[in-house]
Every structure is written in C-alpha cells, then in structure tokens.
Structure 1
Amino acid sequence: MFQTFQTQSGPDHVAERTKALRALMTKAKLDAVLVPRADCHQGEYVPACAERLQWLTGFSGSAGLAVVTKKSALLLIDGRYTVQAKAETDTDVFEVSLLPRARVSEWLLGALSKNQTIGFDPWNHTAGEIARLKAALAPKKIKLKPLPKNPIDTLWGKARPKAPANPVIAQPLTLAGRAASDKLADIQARLKTDGQHAAILTLPDSICWLFNIRGSDVAHNPVVLAFAVVPATGKAELYIDPQRLDAETRAHVAPVAKLLPPKAMAERIAALKAQGKKVRLDPETASFWFEMKLGAAAISRGQDPCILPKAIKSEAEIAGTRAAHIRDGYAMARFLAWLDDNATSGTLDEITAVRQLEAFRRETNMLREISFPTISGSGPNGAIVHYRVTDATNRKVEPNELFLIDSGAQYQDGTTDITRTVAIGVPTDDMKRHFTAVLKGNIAISTARFPKGTRGIDLDPFARRALWAIGEDFDHGTGHGIGSYLSVHEGPQSISRAGMVALQPGMLISNEPGFYKVGAYGIRIENVVLVTQPEQIGEGERPMMGLETITLAPIDRRLIDVDMLDKNERDWINAYHRRVFETLANGLDRATRDWLEQATLPI
C-alpha cells in the first residue's frame, strides 16, 4: 500500500511539547516563535523530517501556521481543516482559527507588547511573508529574529526522521514534450530581457519540470528536493548529492547542468553577491534565508520563471494526461461497480474501500504512486473536507448514508485527481437536493466559455450559484492546478476567491464544488478539466476559451434530482455519461461493462 492507516499524531503530546518550546524561548529571550507547515523549499508538501507543525500541534493538514507566545498559542488553518484541526490538536493549548495567514499579524499585535521579539527559522518562511509581517508589526516595534537553529529540531532530537535521499530519474522527452535545453534557453532569454544575471530556484516541482527529472523525496509527489541556479549565460547548476543520480540520469542532466553538493549553495550565493550580480528571487516561493544572504542590492524580485510555463502543458503532456485519465477511468469504473456490489453488505469499511481502489489502480501495471492519501469518508466523516481515515477513525459504510471518495494516481504520463459521492441505499430528499446543487455548479464550470484574461476568481461564482440559491456554500476553492506527473496541487492557476491568475490554454485544473453537512454527510464532485484554445462562437466577435472535462467516471444518477436541472444541464450529464461509456466499455470485463452501462443511462 502507498497509504498507511496508523494515526500519525494527535493531541496527547501537545501540552508537554509546547511547554518545552516555551522553556527554549525563555533561554533564547524570545517572546514568541513561529512554526509554519513549510520547509526550506517552500513547496506545499514536505518530507517527514520537516513535519514540525504536526510534531508540535498534532495537526497533520497540508496548510497551517502555529504561533506560540509565553502565555498563549494559536493554530491558523484554512477552511478545509476546520473539523480536522480541532480533533487533532489540544484545544486547551492552541486556539484554532480560520484567520487568514496573511493576518497573523493582527493576532500578534494583540498578544505581544511593544519591543518584544519573535523568533523564526529563516529557511521556513518566504521572503515576502517576512516582509509583510515586519511591516505590520512595525507600529509596536515588535522585532522578527531569524534563528540559527530551528527550536523544534532541537526538541525533536534523534527521533526526527532523516532527510530523504532517494534516487533521481529522468522524465523521457516523449512524455515531457520539451527538452530541458529548450526550457532553459527560454528562461535564460527572459533573464536577459529583464536585466538579470541569474535566477535561484527553490520549488521542487519547478526544478523537476525544468530539468525533466523526477524523484520520490516527498510522499505521493514525484519530486526531488534540490536547489538550482540558472545563469543568464552558460550551464545551470543543480545542487543535489550527485550520488543520487545513476549513470543514465547523470547523462540526461550533464548537457544542461553542473551537479554540485547542497553545501556549495552558500558559497555560490556569496559569490553572486560579491560580484554585484542581479539575482532573480521569487519572494513568494524562496526562503527568507536567500534574501538574508544575498542582500537587498543583489536581489531582483520576480516570479519563479518556471511557474507559468510549467502550468501550460505541452502537447505530449496533454496526450499523457488523456491516457492517464482513461487508464484511471478503468480503475474507477471497476471500483464503483465493486462498491455497489458490496456497500450494503454491512461489512465494508472506509479502509477496505481505500485498499480496493488502490488494488484496481495497481492492476493497470502503470501506477507509480497515489497522488495524495485517499479521502474515504462514510456518513459524517465525508463532511470532514480533508479527512484521512486511520485505524482509529475507520467507520463502516452504513445503509442510507453517503460515501465520499476523493483519490488520485501518479502515472508517469499524468497525474489524476477525482472525487465521487455515492448513495449507499436510499438517499433522502435533502441529500439529493444538496447533491444536485453541487452537480449544477460542476456543470456550470464545465460548460463555461470565457475570453482571454479571465481569472479563476471570475469563474468561481459559477460553481456556487446553485448552492447560494438554497442558502448553502463551501469553504474551499473550486479548483486547483494539476501537474504532469508532478504535484497534484500546482499553481499559479486556480478557480477560487484567490484565483487572480488569468487562465490560459493548456492549463489543467480541478473542478470540485462541494457541500458539507457537519455530523451527517459530505458531497463533492471532482473532475479534471483542460483549458481549451479560444474559438469563435457563432457571430460573436471575441474568441472564447472553454474547459474540456478529462476525467472519465460516472456520476451517481441516484442522487440527481432531475427536476432541479434545466435542459442544457440534462444534456451535459447525458453527453458526459455517453462519452464515459463509449471510452471505457471495451476495456472492461463483462460484469463491470454491464454495470457501467446502467450507471450511464440517460436521465
């Protein structure tokens, strides 16, 4: 199994660990300490050795920040983790808040006095984050002090896992679609245009995309933890232990990059500074440590130059994504048919469902990893947006409830992410009403047409309108970018209230509106969509882009209140189901094919 079901953490040690941290704070003359869910690479996902937030607070979500003062403590989370955070941490120690991370300063201004000092690890916060915090705290002259060693590492001691050092592999050109030399040439041309001598890259997925390499340093993400320097002229530099690359991968990298040990990075930064070079540094993705070492005179601020071109998939990556989703569609069809056969037996539980779905994906003989721990939520557990089933929380799938399964796979030609909500037994009218409102939002996104310059924030209300009409909403974004055999969450694009980046053809995004009735059930319908090339619509003067649904799996017809759908919505669901059946039918065994035929009948 790629997924384990042991309880990773919990509230049991939170009080004693927080007390120990406060003792260290006293010795270091600190009035507060910041503990983010981040590492030195500033990616969304971190290796086990960097799970400092979880070690301290018990909270295991992928986004959060803890602030500990001598008398109080705060755990900031986003809307995905409202239920989870309160269950995993000790709420007698940590106040749990949805206060946006950008406004942590408000809490600090209230908790601290003038001229007090906050300690932080300069590797684990971005330069932009620290700059904003400094400005916000300036009225009370509260100081931010970079620490030479992370205090959590001191407390964690020998029990802290070692940093990963897994093999690095090459991503074939047939799947990447563009040679690393071509990508580097484009970035170097951009640096020259912008008057910059070099760029520092810290994001694992940017580095993997640029050099066409992959790894397994972070669970479920085929990335390599490394740093890179791209000069405007000459060979790039990849800072990683050369022993991690076998002869084949070294031969792949050698034409475009020098391999250097990570410890050489500090010397290189010092040389760039001494030579008066202008270095491109992304303040939103690069650690504050780089800004400290470079100094203001050397820094030329700019977005990581890989982020946008990585998001716009090559023809080969799009073809790979299509193939991966057809393959995944076979596995999902088999799973959903199996679920229908077993769900009402009284013996099926959440973990068994996870195991079975992974087994079907493994039987494709192409599965490299899952793309995140499967969310397998029966009844009230489905209302926990990022629920992770464990041996302790495992629940039976009960009759007349809803079952939500959110999962994905990493194949070498593509990354998948899909959610389906299934009726177990007979659904209530409320279940059908909420499900259909979510479905209407999903269809509204799927059928949207929009001009050049449209941002995710512009489309986000499409997914919510039907829910708003019945007095409901959801607290997460509607969609996130998807990588190509890379991270399942990829920027800069999103469909959300924070989605300020214009959508462009070739971008992959999830489409996943939801509804969550705490203590009862959760509903989410998620497909991956591709932004299409602009086309003229009839006599219209402006070409319009659209969203092509790539995911192939039936949507539970038993949960649809047909009277809530208009003709265009009914036509969309019927056409989608027809395409699902026609694409998958011939690759399935007879029993699954028969089930799929029934599951995709017109409504």
Structure 2
Amino acid sequence: MDVVVKLFPFIGRSFVKCGSNIWTQTSENGTKMAAPVKLDRLRSLMSQPKNRVNAYLVYSEDAHQSEYTPDRDKRRAFISNFTGSAGSVVVTDKEALLWTDGRYFLQASQQLTPEWTLMKDRLPETPSIPQWLAKNLPAKSRIGFDPKLVSKANIDSIGAELKSQKSDAELVPIQENLIDQIWGEVQPTYPNTPVFVHDMKYAGQSVEDKLEKIRGELSTNGAAAFVVTSLDEIAWLFNLRGNDIDFNPVFISYALVTPDNATLYIAQDKVKEDVRGALGSSVNYKSYDDVFEDIRSLSSQGKKIWLDSTRSCTALFDAAGEQALNRGSPITILKALKNEAELEGMRQAHIRDAVALISYFAWLEEELKGGNTGLSEAAAADKVDWFRSQQKDFVSLSFDTISSTGPSGAIIHYKPEHGSCATLKIEQMYLCDSGGQYKDGTTDVTRTMHFGEPTAREKRCFTRVLQGHIAIDKAIFPEGTNGYQLDILARLYLWKDGLDFRHGTGHGVGAFLNVHEGPHGISFRPTSQTVPLQGGMTVTNEPGYYEDGSFGIRIENVLLVREEKTPDNFGGKKYLGFENITFVPIQTKMLDAGIMSPEEVQWINEYHEEVLKRVGPHLEGKTLEWLKRETQPVRL
C-alpha cells in the first residue's frame, strides 16, 4: 500500500497525500475485500427480514451534507471504489450503479469494477435516480436509506419524483447503516483533535455580533430555535476552526441558537479551556448526539424549529416533527459576504501563495529542461506542497493537489498516486490545480504550462480558454446579476471552435474555511440562478478544456466581487465587477496571438505587470529572474 505521509502542520497532525485507500482496506480476516464481496454482503443485509429492501441508496455526504468528509464517512467510496467528491450509488439485488457528473466521467470509468454501471449524470439520455428506480424496480418496492445521512430535501425530491413517475415504491429509513456493517472494525474512527480559536484580526466580527444577527432572523421568521448543521457555518458562527476533515478547517458538531442561548454539540474533550474562555458564557456545550433530544424537547413544547432541508438530515426533521420550519440557512449568505478583515486576509494569503507557486514553477522548469525524466506527477505534487508549506501562516492544503501531465490532465479532478502515476514529459502539457489554507485565507489556483514546444492546436485551445477567463475577469454587470447569466462569457470563445467544458466556471471560496463555498457561483447549472453576485463575495474564474487521451487546460484565479464606478447607473442600480487577487504568471508561450484582440493582449500585459509588482519584492535569485522572464510583455 503506497502511503506518503506529509509533515505539514495541519494543526499538529500529519496528513496523507496519496491516500491509504480506505475503501479497499483489509477486512477483518486480513484480506482485501473485493468489490463483488462487498456487494454480496450488502445484498445479504438488504434481504434480511428487519430490512427487506429492494434497493439501497448511498451518497457521498456525511450527516452535515459536507462535500469533503472524514474518512469514516466515505461510504460511497468504500462500496464503489470511486473516489471523486461527487457521486450517488444505487444497489439492487442484481445491479450496482453510480451517478456522477461530467467532472468525473473519465475517472469513474477507470475506477469502477465490471460489476458497476456508470450513469453519466446531467446528460439528456441519463435517467435520474428516481426515474431509474421507478422504471426498474418491481411494484411495491422498498428503497432503503440512512436517515442520519441523507438530507430531507433529497428524500423529499426522490419521493416527489417517484410519485410523478407513478411509482408505488416506499422510501424506508434504516437506522443501522448497512455500509458500516460491511466495513466493520477497520472502518476509520472520527478524529479527536481539539478545536481552536480563529483570531478576531482574521474573523473581523465577534461571536456576539454574529449570534445577534441570527437571533434577529429567528424573530423575523417566527422560529424559537435555529439548528446549524453545516460544519463550515458552525465554525464561522463561533469563530472556531478544527481539524476533523482533511483540507477543511472544521470540526464535527451541531449547534442550536435560541433567543437566549447558543449550544454547541460536540465531543466534550475537543473543547479546551482556551476555547471556553474565548467564548465565555455566550455558549453552552453538550454531547454531539444530544441535539436530537433537545430538538424533540423543543418540539414537544410547541416551539417552531428552523431547519434547512438541504443541509439537514432526515433524522433531524423527524425529531422536530410538525414543529419543523423549513427555511434556508441565514448563515450561508452572511458567511459569503466577507468583511474587510476577511477580504484583506484573502489578499495577503494569495500573495504568499503566489510566492510558493512561482517558486515551484521556476524549479519545475529547471528540472525538466535540465534533463530530469524521472519526475512523477505525485513527486511534483509533493514539491509544490512543500513550497506552499514554507509560507507564513500556512496550515494545510485546501484540497488534494492536482498534478497532471498529458492525458492525465483530461481527468478534471485527477489525484496522482505514488507508484502508479505518470512521469512528467517536457513535450506534454502540465496542469497544476492546488491551494492552501492559511490563518488569514484560503487559496485555489490553476495554471497550465508547457516546458517544451506546444503544438498549434494546444496553443489555440489554451488561448480560447484564456479569452473566456479574460471575459469573466473584465465583466461589469448590474446588481442582481447571478453567475448563471455570466457563465456564457467563459464559453463563447470555446464555442467558436466547437469546444466546451463540463464543469462550472467558478465557485465561492471560504476565508480560512472550505475551498468550495456557496450559495453563489458562476455556472450553467440552475443553482447559480438563485443568488445574485454581491459585493464582498469571492468566486473563482476557471474555464477549461479537456481532450481525452491528450491534455487538459484550466486557468484559475480567485476574484472578489466589488462595486464599480460607471458613467451612468441605469434604473438607479449599482454596477459590480471583479478584483483579481491571484498573481501567478499565465504562460505566454502558450498563446496564439493571432486570434487575440488588442484588448486581450493589453489585459495579459497589465496582469503580468501587476504580478511582478506585487510578488517580485518577495522573490530573489533564479526565481525572481524566472518571474521577470515570464512577465515580459506580449506584442502583436
């Protein structure tokens, strides 16, 4: 088993770069549990009299609907062997199916064993999970799920769609998780590391002020209590951070806010005296599972309990019963609208992050041009991770580094593994998507490089991606505009050549929190229609193009949404635009200048002037010389 332990200080804990493959760990008898064995055991449990289900649903998320989960909660990865961050599983007595989106089609096709069927989600010909269940299950079927893991919104949506398909199938909550029973004693345990205080100089707002805002929302919405379930929202609310999930500085907990109290439900030994002292009497502490009993108690008193069905498991709604008030979390938008301390922290974190990346790319080019033909994708990832770890206030990576050469670049969320990944070749394109967690901010940057001689096609594709990137960066739009409306700007130039990409153009980024943050984004997906972009939000700008078997291209910066001064304000509206905070060169040797406008060439030249101005003073020697060369003006 290939395990490379990285000694980065994720608050005192080393972490695994190339994972130990917890979904294929040895079973109790010391042998690896093969995919058919796991499926056979699951089907046996499904058929037991106490369960009696025709299908069992397994999702990626934990009880808090987290995108990234603790190892213990990687049930979908364990049963399917698919390790991407998004995917849903249906297992019946004869079939095993995985639904995932376009980011992961290639990866899933490589990781799934022959017993599995890949369902390419969001393609016109692919049925949804309820549509498939309605068509393929016998009459009066029972569909099992874990009510402490699956969100209320998801279950309600499945039920409604089954009904629309005229299915009489029944959704059956199964309290004892069937995957856990198969996993057994080798299933990882939850981490038990302490939470820590997120300093006010970074947070920019006190816990008391945040609680006051939530209590104002309680009054407005006629609720007696609000249950906070998302881990990043709990961390934000209490100005705390943790170490329970790799890459995300959060901790496993629930919270409940009433007009008079705020309670944090968490393993008690995780809360040390310094945290209790910092929060004072404004917060009470109870054991993690006590939240269910407290909700039942409030419900029995006839008190309305505010829950967000997209972020809360079905079991929480069951505890609240008829007193459940289903509304979106008020914290989501409050957290997304960064205050000035958070924005300045993000700016400063990105400068230090740029120092790390520029140092890495300068080193990498010297290695490859110097004849190093044995550098693997994973070893290269280790190196960029090391450069980042040397920066002030570095805490951890913000996600697994994507280090991909040639064909690997076409796997959108590729993760290199020592011993099995490719070696970098100077004649191939190289894509590196990486980010860091710093005490003052979170970063996410992608650059695509070629250290040899790119082909005309590679240059043209790269330039089309860059043109979309520039169009987003330069966009000015009226307040009330959502990311769905802007997404076309990132694709127009690719469309001219009959090209496109299967992922969103941008996602929100937390402030020393999750690298993927809502509720906003820039995407073709309907979720980007619901919340307009507003001043103080952060969002990535990352169009791409991926050619299976050949290469991948992505260019990603982080942007801050800000108000723009315009000559007029039609309809009395403010107009918004973006402030770029990522300062890493975009390789100009990859440009096809013949298809660029003078305005686009001006943009790249002005961007590189800013990169040199902001990052140059922090560099020296060969690295500074590399930066100066890479930021030379482009001339038509």
Using the size of structure 2 for normalisation, the TM-score is: 0.92
Aligned pair partner of 1:235 in 241, 258, 261: 261
Query: In structure 1, what is the equivalent of residue 118 of structure 2?
Result: 95
Instruction: Tell me how far apart the structure 2 counterparts of residues 360 and 102 of structure 1 sit (CA, whole Å).
Output: 45
- Structure 2: distance between partners of 1:585 and 1:263: 51
| Structure 2 partner of 1:41 | 64
Map of 1:401-412 to 2, 5 A cutoff?
Answer: 401-412=428-439
| Deviation of 1:542 (Å) | 4.2
Helix, strand or coil at the partner of 1:222: coil
2:412 aligned partner:
385
Is 2:325 the partner of 1:300? yes
Task: Give the Å deviation of 1:96.
Answer: 3.6
- Is 2:229 the counterpart of 1:202? yes
Residues 76 and 99 in structure 1, CA contact (< 8 A), matched pair in contact too: no
CA distance in 2, matches of 1:507, 1:283: 24
Distance 1:254 1:90 in 2: 53
1:67 aligned partner: 90
Match in the other structure for 2:521 = 494
1:563 counterpart letter in structure 2: G
Map of 1:593 onto structure 2:
624
- 1:5-154 to structure 2, matched below 5 A, reads 5-6=18-19, 8=21, 9=23, 13-27=34-48, 28-99=51-122, 103-138=128-163, 139-154=166-181
Query: Relative to structure 2, which stretch is displaced further, 3-12 or 51-60?
Result: 3-12
For each residue in 1:66-95, what CA deviation from the matched residue of structure 2 results, as whole angstroms up to 9, or x when unmatched?
000111121000111111111111133333
Following superposition, the deviation at residue 537 of structure 1 comes to 3.4
What SS does the aligned partner of 1:140 have?
coil
- Equivalent residues in 2 for 1:351-362 (5 A)? 351-362=378-389
Distance in 2 between residues matched to 1:538 and 1:565, nearest whole Å: 29
Deviation at 1:429, TM superposition (A): 0.3
Which of 579, 587, 597 is the equivalent residue of 1:548? Answer: 579
Gaps of 5+ in 2: 1-5, 7-14, 25-31
Structural mapping, 1:285-296, within 5 Å? 285-295=311-321
**Secondary structure of the equivalent of 1:25?**
helix
* Alignment CA distance shift 1:455-1:547 (3 Å): same
CA distance in 1, matches of 2:136, 2:120: 15
Q: Deviations over 1:131-150 (max 9, x none)?
A: 11111223221000000110
**CA positional deviation for 1:559:** 0.3
Q: Matched residues in 2 for 1:266 and 1:329: separation? A: 45
Q: Determine whether 1:431 maps to 2:458.
A: yes
Q: Which residue identity is paired with 2:17?
A: T
Of 17, 38, 41, which aligns to 1:4? 17
User: Cα gap change, 1:72/1:99 in structure 2, threshold over 3 Å: closer, same or farther?
Assistant: farther
CA change 1:62–1:441 in 2 (3 A) is same
1:563 aligns with 2:588: no
Determine which of 276, 279, 290 is the counterpart of 1:250. Answer: 276
Relative to structure 1, the CA distance from residue 398 to residue 278 in structure 2 (aligned partners, 3 Å threshold; closer, same or farther) is: same
Identify the residue that residue 492 of structure 2 maps to in structure 1: 465
Contact 1:15 1:93 in 2 (8 A): no
Q: How many matched pairs?
A: 601
Mapped partners of 1:12, 1:337: distance in 2: 44
- The question of 1:420 aligning with 2:447 is answered yes
Amino acid at match of 1:496: S
Give the secondary-structure state (helix, strand or coil) at the position aligned to 1:148. coil
Q: Residues 539, 217 of structure 1: CA spacing in aligned structure 2 closer, same or farther, 3 A cutoff?
A: closer
Asked if 2 retains the 8 angstrom alpha-carbon contact of 1:480 and 1:491, the reply is yes
Rounded to whole Å, the distance in 2 between the matches of 1:3 and 1:49 is 15
1:457 maps to amino acid = Y
1:260 to 276, 283, 286: 286
Aligned residue in 2 for 1:511: 541
CA distance in 1, matches of 2:139, 2:451: 58
Q: CA deviation at 1:583?
A: 0.6
> Would the alpha carbon gap of residues 363 and 570 (structure 1) be closer, same or farther in structure 2, given more than 3 Å must change?
same
Matched-pair contact (CA < 8 Å) for 1:7–1:391: no
Q: Is the 8 A contact 1:537 1:543 kept in 2?
A: no
Q: Is the 8 A contact 2:102 2:120 kept in 1?
A: no
Q: Which of the numbers 237, 244, 247 marks the counterpart of 1:217? A: 244
Unaligned runs of 5+ in 1: none
Deviations 1:188-221 (A, max 9, x none): 0011011111111110000000000000100111
Write the distance in 2 (CA, Å) between the matches of 1:4 and 1:531. 33
Q: What code does the residue aligned with 1:83 have?
A: L
Determine which of 185, 191, 195 is the counterpart of 1:168.
Answer: 195
Letter in 2 for 1:352: A
State whether structure 2 residue 272 is matched by structure 1 residue 272.
Answer: no
- Asked if 2 retains the 8 angstrom alpha-carbon contact of 1:554 and 1:577, the reply is yes
Q: Compute the TM-score of the two structures, normalised by the length of structure 1.
A: 0.97
2:451 partner letter = I
- Secondary structure of the equivalent of 2:128? helix
342, 347, 351: which one aligns with 1:326: 351
Secondary structure at the counterpart of residue 545 of structure 1: strand
Report Cα offsets for 1:517-575 as digits up to 9, x if no partner. Answer: 10000000000000012432368664310011110100011101111111111111111
- In structure 2, how many angstroms separate the alpha carbons of the residues matched to 1:399 and 1:415? 31
Q: Name the aligned partner's letter for residue 33 of structure 1.
A: Y
Q: Contact 2:352–2:392 (CA<8 Å) still a contact in 1?
A: no
- Tell me if the contact between 1:536 and 1:542 (Cα under 8 Å) persists in the aligned partners: no
Letter of the 1:115 counterpart: K
Q: Which region of structure 1 is more displaced relative to structure 2, 12-21 or 135-144?
A: 12-21
**Matches of 1:536 and 1:432, distance apart in 2:** 35
Q: What do residues 447-504 of structure 1 show as CA deviations (whole Å, max 9, x unaligned)?
A: 0000111001001010000001100000000001100000000010110012112000
Summarize the alignment of residues 308-323 of structure 1 with structure 2, pairs less than 5 Å apart.
Answer: 308-323=333-348
What letter corresponds to residue 567 of structure 1 in structure 2?
P
Aligned letter for 1:71? K
Q: Does the CA contact (< 8 Å) of 1:325 and 1:550 recur in 2?
A: yes
> Does the 8 A contact of 1:451 with 1:534 survive in 2?
no
Deviation at 1:3, TM superposition (A): 4.4
In structure 2, distance between residues paired with 1:299 and 1:193? 16
Preserved contact between residue 14 and residue 89 of structure 1 (Cα < 8 Å) = no
Q: Which moved more, 1:337-346 or 1:112-121?
A: 337-346
Aligned partners of 2:272, 2:347: CA distance in 1, in Å? 30
